[in-house]
Amino acid sequence: MTMSETKNRYVPVLNDGFVGLLDWLGSDQDIVNAARVSYAPLGSKKTYEEDRKLIRYLMRHRHTSPFEMAELKFHVRVPIYVWRQWIRHRTASVNEVSGRYTVLKESFHRLSADEWRFQSNSNRQGSDGYAPNDVGTQLSEAEDAFLQAAYKLYMERIDQGIAREQARKDLPLSIYTEAYWKIDLHNLLHFLELRLDAHAQFEIRQYAQVIANFVKELFPLTWEAFCDYRLNAITLSALEQRILGSVFVNSFSQLCKLIEDDTDLTEREKDELKAKIMKMQMHV
């Protein structure tokens, strides 16, 4: 896909939202160049595999500044109740549509009968399972009536000359807002690590998945490393290491053989994994 085909490409999300990629700066090559500037002459040429290994090393060891050399700028339309979670990531530059300057569109996030979720009993901020269809139908019908009434009241105030900053005050959180959102790749990956997680709210995960697809297209080596070392990786507490270390005490040589026989790990990664196992044994 060419640069012109990628720019200004909009992907629909939810019932009336979207994510559009407006522009971006940098590439996988810019990331490795930024990393190498401290020890290699500018313009030094390396092979694809050398670039890949370096990006994977940077990601694995949390050397983050080279990833800050890339930026992406999006245009998003998102329900305000989802935007409130999104905007907690304070590492981006944001310009949002203002209800003080413009009349807001009649655009709300509506749920169909099969989309209403029950509150989770084990997670205070999560959901679990779906309401029966008959219950969902009642909820959707009530929602539609409420949204129509709320927007009608808003427009009546506007037509009577009431200031837009006051007229908007009773609009529900399901109304869509729009914003330009620009963020460097390092902080974007942190956003995606949190918002692609299965525990994140379903609605924001839909936006995160669209953004992730853009990142995968533009920075394929970085995305591969991110998936391997962060998105699909796990961390172990000292207590967890102690438990696993007790299992590894009598099987270290066997584990080393499995590591040496693995064809996906580099020699450096093999040494790092052996060191991790030895560290776990020290906790026992």
Condensed to tens digits (0 to 9), the pLDDT of residues 138-192 reads 999 999 999 999 999 999 999 999 999 999 999 999 999 999 999 999 999 999 9
Q: Answer yes or no: 117 catalytic.
A: no
More confident residue, 248 or 284: 248
What are the structural domain ranges in the chain? 3-98+177-231, 113-170, 238-282
* pLDDT attached to residue 5: 67
> For residue range 64-96, what is the model confidence (pLDDT) as tens digits?
999 999 999 999 999 999 999 999 999 999 999
Q: What residues does 19 pair with on adjacent strands?
A: 11, 76
- Predicted confidence band of residue 216 (pLDDT cuts 50, 70, 90): very high
Residue 279's pLDDT is 77
Question: Residues 75, 20: contact at Cβ < 8 Å?
Answer: yes
Quote the pLDDT of residue 108.
Answer: 98
Exactly one of 9, 60, 195, 268 is catalytic; name it: 195
The model carries a pTM of 0.89
CB 70 within 8 A of CB 182: no
- For the beta carbon of residue 95, count every other beta carbon within 10 angstroms: 10
Higher pLDDT, 123 or 113: 113
Least confident stretch, 80-84, 119-123, 152-156, 242-246: 242-246
**Cβ–Cβ under 8 Å, residues 55 and 32:** yes
* Residues 58, 37: Cα–Cα separation, whole Å: 14
- The CATH code for residues 3-98+177-231 is 3.30.1360.170
